[in-house]
Amino acid sequence: MAGDTDRLRRLADQAVVCGVGESAYGRRLGRSAIDLAADAIQAAVADAGLTKGDIDGMAVTFGSPLGADADTLAFALGLELKAYNQTWAHGRFTGTALQWAAMTVAAGLADVVACLAAVSFTGVRRLRVGGGGDREGAREGGGGHGEDPVYGMTSPGAGAALMARKYMARHGATAEDLAAVPISLRHNATLNPLAMYSEPLTLQAYLGARHVAEPLRIFDYCQVNDGAACVLVTTPERAADLAQPPVYLGGMQGLPAGRHEFIWAYPGFGTAQQIETDWTPGPQPVHRMAGVTPADIDAFFTYDAFSPLVWLALERWGFCGIGEVWQFTADGRIQVGGELPVNTNGGLLSEAHIMAWNHQVEIVRQLRGQCGERQVAGAEVIQWGNVYGDSLIYHR
């Protein structure tokens, strides 16, 4: 075990974020994904005090048809890249891209890697995630989120609803309890001028809203929008004389797959073909690598495409016991000002759905102390951790 920790620690603090930026966020902006990506990259470069020629690496997590591909971006922006990488068009690869960028700069394959996604969800005529164009659900063995259109099971949100129903039945939680997640994140969004939705959400309004895939209501679903956000990763040495204080990538944990995993549940929960076991999360590799425990985390950020994902992520990363999170998220505990602020930007639920690159931008600004009204006082250590099992620990 000590040997494992030594190996993990080799990459700790070998990469930093030196710049962040975003485009406008909104519906039907009437601008292409490349156009939006350019805004985000230019803003991040300016934030860092760099220039165009300094960008020599790129990691994109969401390409065409709803986003912009890395090679196309390099051409359109006139970049000369030494290394680029692009993952499948899904939200879950944000951490993977940042980990690749950290390894790339630490190994000297590139100096400054622009990590980003641009999305144009409303710029295409038909949403192709779920619904009539559910090619992924129709693939052999079904879709990764539990989709099986033959039985009407389409859209990733339905997979999250399946998991939420099971969780509620097993642990006695209710829709009223789940409401605390979108209500808390909406509260955070009221403090964020960039957020698409900043009207407070009441329990009455939540419960009165229509179901989509029951037990989930419309407020349990993320935004569908256009926009881009970018994070620049470099080495601590390169960052030393740049415009912003560096934010370190202190811990990492890769994206797992296998028969203990279902994208919307922790290991052993027993959804889709996932093996059902009694799983108790202890300290995870990301904690050992960063030399911290869950008690040291000042704020937590997670992929909140659907509100139940926040619940199971909090349990997976050890902030409360298995079966307890519906009590943990009550009483404003995950709001700005609460015991563990979660997604202080308002998240995918209320700020915007930029594949959670907007969350990475917010984490960096929190650690620089640039978040104004929603600043987490004295924030030093922030975790990005997902229900699907990957994580990053950032620190000042």
Q: Is 172 in the site for another protein (CB under 8 A)?
A: no
Q: Which is nearer to another protein, 180 or 213 (CB)?
A: 213
Distance CA 341, CA 362 (A): 12
Tell me the backbone φ, ψ of residue 215, rounded to 5 degrees.
Answer: -85, 5
Contacts of 241 by beta carbon, 8 Å cutoff, 6+ apart? none
Q: Which is nearer to another protein, 150 or 243 (CB)?
A: 150
Contacts of 301 by beta carbon, 8 Å cutoff, 6+ apart? 342, 343, 344, 356, 359, 360, 362, 363, 382, 383, 384, 385
* Contact window for another protein (CB under 8 A) among 26-34, 91-99, 153-161, 230-238: 153-161
Q: How far is the CB of 273 from another protein (least distance, A)?
A: 6
Range 102-105 contact pairs with CB under 8 angstroms and sequence separation of 24 or more: 102/11, 102/14, 102/15, 102/233, 102/249, 102/252, 103/11, 103/15, 104/57, 104/59, 104/233, 105/14, 105/15, 105/57, 105/233, 105/234, 105/235, 105/238
Q: How far is the CB of 166 from another protein (least distance, A)?
A: 4
Q: How far is the CB of 379 from another protein (least distance, A)?
A: 37
Q: Which is nearer to another protein, 264 or 317 (CB)?
A: 264
Q: Is 156 in the site for another protein (CB under 8 A)?
A: no
Q: Which is nearer to another protein, 231 or 272 (CB)?
A: 272
Q: Is 124 in the site for another protein (CB under 8 A)?
A: no
Q: Which residues of 36-49 are buried (b: 16+ CB within 10 A; e: fewer)?
A: bbbbbbebbbebbe
* Interface residue with another protein, options 48, 115, 179, 213 (CB under 8 A): 213
Q: How far is the CB of 179 from another protein (least distance, A)?
A: 17
Per-residue three-class SS string for 83-108: EEEECCCCHHHHHHHHHHHHHHHHCC
Distance CA 244, CA 143 (A): 42
Q: How far is the CB of 160 from another protein (least distance, A)?
A: 9
Q: Which is nearer to another protein, 19 or 142 (CB)?
A: 142
* Contact window for another protein (CB under 8 A) among 43-51, 151-159, 359-367, 377-385: 151-159
* Interface residue with another protein, options 166, 285, 296, 338 (CB under 8 A): 166
* Interface residue with another protein, options 259, 321, 323, 331 (CB under 8 A): 259
Contacts of 278 by beta carbon, 8 Å cutoff, 6+ apart? 268
Size of the site for another protein (CB under 8 A): 38
Burial class, 273, CB count within 10 angstroms (exposed 0-12 / middle 13-18 / buried 19+): exposed
Q: Is 208 in the site for another protein (CB under 8 A)?
A: no
Residue list 262-291, contact with another protein (CB under 8 A): 270-273
Q: Which is nearer to another protein, 57 or 137 (CB)?
A: 137
Binding-site ranges for another protein (CB under 8 A): 130-132, 134, 138-142, 146, 148-155, 158, 161-163, 165-166, 169-170, 210-216, 259, 270-273
